[in-house]
A and B are shown apart, each in its own frame.
Chain A
Amino acid sequence: MTAGELVCPAGTPAALRTAVDAGADSIYCGFQNATNARNFPGLNFTPQELGKSVEYAHSKGARILLALNTYPPAGKFGLWREAADLGADLGVDAFIVADMGVAAYIAKTHPDIRLHLSVQAAAASPDAICYYVREFGVKRVVLPRILTIPEIREIKAEIPCEIETFIFGNHGLMVEGRCSLTNYATGLSTNMDGVCSPAHLVEYRRDADDGMSTRLGPFTIDRFGPQESAGYPTICKGRYVNSEHPDGYYAFEEPISLNLSRLLPALMDAGVDAFKIEGRQRSRAYVKKVVAAFRAAVDDVRAGREPALADLAALTEGQKQTEGAFQTKKWR
């Protein structure tokens, strides 16, 4: 695959066609169940839809990456096995996996289909990455969003596989695949059920002072004054109280979007093979704008031109933007 591959999200067949038409090299998606980490109502693909989407993408020279990136609890492993077999039958170009049991099954049963190591496996060192390459023949690692560019360059020199990094979208704070915060509050697990702050357990409650409390299960994730706009209650983006911060503070991170557009040339120079845009839950219009803008930007960098990315700032929906860990160790 060529350097600077653009890997784009699709939560629906329509979004998938939109991403292909807007210039995506690859599209990642999942089935409508717990086998992927965006198991949200109204999102994802039936087998029939995925089959047609594979045909469409292939007819335009694009590839389909199937996310099977959750952790099957004992007793439910069959669902992941069936999803892998189905994906193979439908002609997907790669599986994105995190669980070693799932990786072992695919490596043995479908050895001709590429395995990508999901960010949910949290492989953040050459040693960990090399283990997955050696044991399962992984062809690409999706790196956690915690490394600086010099660190990515060092990793690239030590591993025999491709690197994919996130460049745009939601910015998770916890080590992926190691977070049970949602399960603690709600009984639904990010790793086992593919959910994070599920909408049906979210509540916006009007307070006596006309402010708003946002809740997940029985816990208040944040409280907003009458003049503030209430954000979605994701646990790692909430405000909490302790002796140091009696009025509340963003203990983990404020609501903020990752935007590495400015760093594209440096990332390509460091050896990043593919750029991932987050957002399978996003609208078609969003996918179209973001994919088209990054398509142009990647093409500009490849041609040695200065990329124009002013429009992307507007797409972060009024949220603050960050380059996160990529630019400075002080993020940690």
Chain B
Amino acid sequence: MTPRLTIGPIQYFWSEERKLDFYARIADEAPVDTVYLGEVICSKRQPFFDQHIDVVAERLTRAGKRVVLCGLAEVMLKRERKACADLVQQGEFEIEINNAAGLFHLEPGRHHRIGPFMNVYNAETMAHMAARGATHVTVPVELPAASVELMAAEAGKLGVGLEVQVFGRAGLATSARCYHARAFGRTKDNCQFVCGDHADGLPLDTRNGESFLRVNGIQTLSHSYVNLAGEVPAMAEMGVSDLRLMPQDTDMVAVANVFDALRHGAIEAAEADARFGAIVMEAPFSNGFWHGEAGHRRIEAGARALA
């Protein structure tokens, strides 16, 4: 079966205008099936775009996209707990839960999706969630192919969708502390939204000049963009139902077009590489996690065939 293409939630603190433009273009031009909306990283950022969600969702729905509203990855403060409960209790949108606090508020049988921050590493955990209404699971970015294959087989039996991130920086860690504020000598409470100045994250290079990580508020991302273009046929074969593209500061419609051609078998990996070469991107590609290697690595096609 041809996997669906999805646009994951925007992790960075882009301006309202920029997000509105981004989703308008996705609605009009991107060959994707599902779009995840909502703030996942920082509850302080939430109010800015939340007021536009209805309009954006309507636009996307009219363009034939399925819309899913995402919850926060970290839930600790009162406003975060309330946001979490409100998300589950609204009935208008399909939801993706990213913190166990959200699970607590589910009425029995309430359908929901499980996001990548929920640590579903195995079929036993997936079965627990499916029994409580989960219809769809996005696995952690570090889960290797051998495990994804087993999970996909089990997801098929449970009637649950299984989603893998195939493009964009890997979310490597979250914290209660805001490292973006810290870099500018501030704390989370008086951050002045400095994270809004870095549309693709704040670089952290090593003291010997190697590009390594990116800071995005309380989140730490990989410098490299995960790119599993070469692995799309294998994923389709094993029954991965959805391929997630994480928005980066690049031409995401062009990226979606490449993955769309790949999933339909219209092009192969070499042609995909050539097309990616024509898109301006800030970072190298990696696929190490998928191959059970260090996440920053890029395992080439020849080595893949031997593996």
| Interfacial residues, chain A to chain B (CB-CB below 8 A) | 71-77, 98-102, 104-105, 121, 123-128, 130-132, 134-135, 144, 146-147, 151, 173-175, 177-181, 183-187, 189, 191-192, 213, 217-223, 236, 238-245, 248-249, 251-253, 325, 329-332
**Nearest CB of chain B from residue A101's CB, rounded to whole Å:** 3
19 A-B pairs whose Cβ atoms sit less than 8 Å apart in the complex = A74-B147, A74-B148, A77-B124, A104-B128, A123-B100, A124-B75, A125-B75, A174-B220, A180-B141, A181-B173, A181-B213, A185-B294, A191-B121, A218-B296, A219-B206, A239-B207, A242-B204, A244-B202, A252-B179
A-B contacts at CB below 8 angstroms, number: 224
Chain B positions within 8 Å of A99 at CB level: 119, 121-122, 124-125
Binds A, one of B26-34, B181-189, B261-269: B181-189
Interchain CB contact under 8 A, B74 and A72: no
Q: Are A127 and B84 in contact (CB under 8 A)?
A: yes
In the complex, what distance in Å separates the CA atom of A240 from the CA atom of B206? Answer: 5
Q: In the complex, what residues of A have CB within 8 A of residue B85's CB? A: 127
Residues of chain A contacted by B213 (CB below 8 angstroms): 181, 240
Which of B48-56, B101-109, B273-281 is the contact stretch? B101-109
In the bound complex, residues from chain A placing their C-beta under 8 Å from that of B119 are 71, 98-99, 177-178, 191
Known: A75-B146, A183-B294, A251-B183. Is A192-B121 also a contact (CB below 8 A)? Answer: yes
Q: How far is the CA of A222 from the CA of B125 in the complex (A)?
A: 38
Q: Would you call A174 and B289 a contact (CB within 8 A)?
A: no
Verify B294–A187 contact, CB threshold 8 A: yes
Asked if B204 contacts A251 (CB within 8 A), the reply is yes
Q: Which residue of A lies closest to B151 (CB)?
A: A74
Task: Kindly list chain B residues whose C-beta atoms are within 8 Å of the C-beta of A151.
Answer: 76
Contact A74 B84 (CB under 8 A): no
B150 at the interface (CB under 8 A from A): yes
Task: Contacts A74-B121, A241-B205 known; list 17 others, CB within 8 Å.
Answer: A74-B122, A75-B147, A76-B147, A77-B123, A101-B125, A124-B75, A127-B81, A132-B100, A146-B76, A147-B76, A174-B220, A178-B174, A180-B170, A183-B295, A191-B140, A251-B215, A332-B187
Residues facing A in B33-77 (CB within 8 A) are 73-76
